[in-house]
Every structure is written in structure tokens, then in C-alpha cells.
């Protein structure tokens, strides 16, 4: 068993499940999307990206690309959330939460693609 692939698979699936847990709920209701879960989603996605750096295979490049897309979407959502909480006079409104959840949903799609690629790669392996 390849420990490196186990660790990467673990964090990739963890990123997917945490992101799904954050996205589920009323899109415009800030009470359904907790900041701690969002923070964990961002951290785990960055860990996944770090784990794929240095892989020189074509599948590794695709996995790195999906991780970078998820990171970009989540960092954009974090900037929107930070702006809403600390700069905007309106605070965190339902409209702002819709933007945050939409960006996190884009990251969720990237995570689904990443896990799909991992599954496809695993199924293509020959013994």
C-alpha cells in the first residue's frame, strides 16, 4: 500500500466532505454556513494542493489544477466574507452569503472532479 496515495486520498475526500457540509443549507442564511467549517475547508484544500506539488505525471497535473481552482474559489469567498464582516457597514447579509456559498460550490465541483480523477486512476491500475 502506498502511504503517500492514502494520505492524499484522505485529504482529498476530507476536502470534498467538508466543502459539501459547508455548502448544504439555505444559500442566503448565514446561520446555515459556519465560519469554522469554512476555515477548515480552506485549510484542508490548501493541504491537498501542497500534497500534489512535485508530482510530474499528467494525472498529477490535473489533480494540482483542480486543487488550485478550489483554492482560488475558496480564497475569493474568504475575501468576500472578510470584507462583509470587517469593512462593509451592512455586515454579513443574505446576498453576501449567496456569493460566498456560490464560490464554495465552485470549489466543491473542483473537489468532485479531483476525487473522480483519483477514482478513475485507481480503477485503471493493473495488478
- The full length of the chain comes to 127
How many domains is the chain partitioned into structurally?
A: 1
- Tens of pLDDT, residue by residue over 48-85, are 999 999 888 899 999 999 999 999 999 999 999 999 99
What is the domain range of residue 22? 3-124
**Residue 63, C-beta contacts closer than 8 angstroms, at least 6 positions apart:** 12, 52, 55, 114, 117, 118
Per-residue pLDDT tens over the stretch 76-111: 999 999 999 999 999 999 999 999 999 999 999 999
* Report field, pTM of the whole predicted structure over 0.95: no
Only one residue has cell 469567498, namely 77
113: its cell numbers: 472532479
Whole-number CA gyration radius for the chain? 16
Amino acid at each position: 500500500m502506498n502511504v503517500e496515495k492514502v494520505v492524499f486520498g484522505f485529504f482529498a475526500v476530507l476536502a470534498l466532505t467538508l466543502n459539501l457540509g459547508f455548502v448544504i443549507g439555505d444559500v442566503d442564511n448565514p446561520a446555515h454556513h459556519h465560519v469554522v467549517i469554512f476555515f477548515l475547508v480552506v485549510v484542508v484544500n490548501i493541504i491537498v494542493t501542497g500534497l500534489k506539488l512535485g508530482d510530474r505525471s499528467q494525472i498529477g497535473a490535473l489533480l494540482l489544477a483542480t486543487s488550485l481552482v478550489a483554492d482560488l474559489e475558496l480564497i475569493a469567498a474568504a475575501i468576500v466574507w472578510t470584507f462583509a464582516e470587517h469593512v462593509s457597514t451592512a455586515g454579513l447579509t443574505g446576498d453576501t452569503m449567496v456569493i460566498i456559498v456560490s464560490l464554495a460550490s465552485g470549489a466543491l465541483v473542483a473537489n468532485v472532479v479531483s476525487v473522480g480523477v483519483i477514482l478513475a486512476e485507481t480503477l485503471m491500475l493493473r495488478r
